Structure 1
Amino acid sequence: MKQRNAIKNDLFAADHHRQKIDRLGDPLAEIEKHINFAALAAEVDRVAPRPVSPQGGRPPFPTETMVRILVLKRLYNLSDEQMEYQLLDRMSYQRFCGLGQAVNIPDRTTIWTFENRIGEAGGQALFDGVSAQLLKQGYIARGGQIIDATLVPAPKQHNSRAEKELLEQGATPVGWKPAKRRQKDQDATWTKKHGKSYFGYKLSVNVDNKYKLIRKFKTDTASTHDSQHFDNVFNTGNTSRDVYADRGYPSEAREAQLARDGFRNRIQRKGHANKPLSECQQQRNRRIAKVRARVEHVFAVIDQMGGKLVRTIGQARANFALTMMATCYNLKRLVFLRKAGIVAF
């Protein structure tokens, strides 16, 4: 009878494990290879300077370390508590954050405090910094732009009818203590899609057809119509003049504006009860759909990163979470493009 291999102990086991991780291919090492995190940290410090404590005390963790932690948190959809545990437990996380030999590891409070320190401005600086590095590597927007939006659920609120009426009037129920108010999201809204109700926020994106990278984005509440964000995410920097979007975006004014500015309208037509689409228009929609569907791949990857959802309360925190979502998608996409040999030209 064949015996199983006995467990071997070795003082250098940790080094052997690291070498095996490298041979298997650490996705975090691939991100680090192509992104300058020191430059990203410098941008964050520029828009959200590190506080200086006159009382001294233990120095804060480097901004670069904390930026790397935020990237891990979003890539793997972890809470602050889960992030603290994984930093203590996972060798690859420790190595990515430069904490392999560190005695003290950032805890959940440190992570939460850093997010609050940099806020929306810091999140936008990270997205812009990653975008700038993509452009330096040659990944400019090509092949036309695709505009679309996706719903991002938030924790549902269970309020009574009387409480809902007060909230709609902009008032806060008398019985809500400060602790309860902090757990109530008064910014997120309800909407319906395909007959199903959703509560939360909305992420509108502009993706280039060539590389499927998010070039611009806009965040809002779920009830805002997709078409209202068209101008916010429109990108004049694409090398192609083609503009793709689904049936939720067409309007006479928009079509006229695109024509005046020299863009090719690839927005799908929308039929009406008294005026259905002709066969020619339906064929046009099908042709457009083949290209427009590429933006759904973007949303699918975001979903694979842990789900299109936010655990936070309020618009400001949701904006930060969605900004990190878009930023980390671009990081993940860059690694894919590099490994697939899709080099910018």
Structure 2
Amino acid sequence: MVKILVLQQLYNLADDALEYQLLDRRSFLQFLDLTESSSIPDAKTIWLFRDRLAQAGAGSLVFEQVQQQLHKHGYMARCGQIIDASLVQAPVQRNKREEADTVKEGAMPLTWKPHKRAQKDVDARWTKKHGKSHFGYKLHASVDKRYKLLRKMSITHAAVADTTVFESLLDRTNTSRDVYADRGYPTNEREATLKQAGWRVHIQRKGSATKGIFEAQKKRNRHIATPRARVEHVFGALAQMGGKLVRCMGIVRVTFALHLKAASYNLKRLVFLKEGGLVPF
């Protein structure tokens, strides 16, 4: 059944569409080692299985199992890591101002009936980026520079600042101590702590509202930009797989969905690396 969910993530299929494709595509049946259509679960069964895994917090276990497969094939985290975050859009909630204030406080409006509560996402939040409002969640990730594989990840609501989860994303299994990040992460205290711990810090500088940055800092930013851009390639690949939009509601289900999406991306990337002849070293 987990392989069915992987197919769903790779091809960005809804449950009903997945059921149809399982009945229609022989290649899907071969991947699942199935020979009879009577063995194929229907859309409701797929939803229930996925939801039970989500409630059990199994997404991180699937992600870690894929990491072990990467290590088994020799693709360990190498050449440093790049840390960044990406917004994940969720269905917009149309709440009254009083209801929105109650949700922000972590409570549920008393006027909501049970059937209405089931259709409300009380975990997602609004945030602004480049002057535009976004509603949903945020995927924080650490990607290794060598293979562009996702190594560590964390999911929060969209209003959480990128910098708050930086330390939890550090991959200490990486063979290099180089850490790359954009302008959203620099603090003097963080850089001092990282350097003291033996990390080589490559975090881009940013100016203040009244003061820009020096030419030397601009040159340094450009030098960091090229390796740091590799994480954007990963987010772009996830977007092509539907990873920039979630159709489920609640942090528990979203966390599972994004862990499964990341695991599926890593499997797809592993096949690409092996077929492309990129030998691990």
Q: What range describes the TM-score normalised by the shorter chain of this pair?
A: over 0.9
| 1:301 corresponds to 2:230 | no
CA distances 1:215-240 after superposition (whole Å, capped 9, x unpaired): 11111100001111111110111111
Q: How many angstroms apart in 1 are the aligned matches of 2:39 and 2:67?
A: 32
Offset at 1:173? 3.3
| 1:81 corresponds to 2:51 | no
Offset at 1:171? 4.0
Structure 1's consecutive aligned runs of 4 or more residues displaced over 6 angstroms after TM superposition are none
Which gives a bigger RCO, structure 1 or 2 (Cα 8 Å, sep 6+)?
A: 2
1:138/1:315 Cα in 2 relative to 1: closer, same or farther (>3 Å)? same
Offset at 1:174? 4.0
Q: Identify the residue that residue 321 of structure 1 maps to in structure 2.
A: 257
Q: Identify the residue that residue 262 of structure 1 maps to in structure 2.
A: 198
* Structure 2 letter corresponding to 1:101: E
Q: How many angstroms apart in 2 are the aligned matches of 1:169 and 1:121?
A: 24
Q: How many angstroms apart in 1 are the aligned matches of 2:192 and 2:86?
A: 26
- Alignment partner of 2:195: what SS? helix
| 1:108 corresponds to 2:37 | no
CA distances 1:225-257 after superposition (whole Å, capped 9, x unpaired): 111111111011111121100000011111111
Q: How many angstroms apart in 2 are the aligned matches of 1:100 and 1:288?
A: 51
CA RMSD of aligned residues (A): 1.4
Q: Identify the residue that residue 288 of structure 1 maps to in structure 2.
A: 224
User: Where in structure 2 are the equivalents of 1:188-267 lying within 5 Å?
Assistant: 188-267=124-203
Question: Is the 2:82–2:144 Cα contact (8 Å) retained in structure 1?
Answer: yes
Q: How many angstroms apart in 2 are the aligned matches of 1:199 and 1:300?
A: 19
User: Where in structure 2 are the equivalents of 1:61-210 lying within 5 Å?
Assistant: 66-119=1-54, 121-210=57-146
CA distances 1:61-97 after superposition (whole Å, capped 9, x unpaired): xxxxx01101011111122222112111222112211
- Alignment partner of 1:103: what SS? helix
CA distances 1:3-42 after superposition (whole Å, capped 9, x unpaired): xxxxxxxxxxxxxxxxxxxxxxxxxxxxxxxxxxxxxxxx
Q: Percent identity?
A: 56
TM-score normalised by the chain length of structure 2: 0.95
Long gaps (5+) in structure 2: none
- Alignment partner of 1:250: what SS? coil
Q: How many angstroms apart in 1 are the aligned matches of 2:125 and 2:254?
A: 12
Offset at 1:170? 4.0
Q: How many angstroms apart in 1 are the aligned matches of 2:72 and 2:164?
A: 31
Long gaps (5+) in structure 1: 1-65
Question: Is the 2:243–2:258 Cα contact (8 Å) retained in structure 1?
Answer: no
- Alignment partner of 1:100: what SS? coil
* Structure 1 letter corresponding to 2:25: R
Q: Identify the residue that residue 38 of structure 1 maps to in structure 2.
A: none
Q: How many angstroms apart in 2 are the aligned matches of 1:314 and 1:235?
A: 27
CA distances 1:152-201 after superposition (whole Å, capped 9, x unpaired): 00111111223223333444334422111111000000000001111001
Q: How many angstroms apart in 1 are the aligned matches of 2:165 and 2:107?
A: 28
Q: How many angstroms apart in 2 are the aligned matches of 1:322 and 1:338?
A: 24
1:162/1:274 Cα in 2 relative to 1: closer, same or farther (>3 Å)? closer
How many residues matched? 280
1:218/1:144 Cα in 2 relative to 1: closer, same or farther (>3 Å)? same
1:162/1:126 Cα in 2 relative to 1: closer, same or farther (>3 Å)? same
Q: How many angstroms apart in 2 are the aligned matches of 1:307 and 1:325?
A: 7
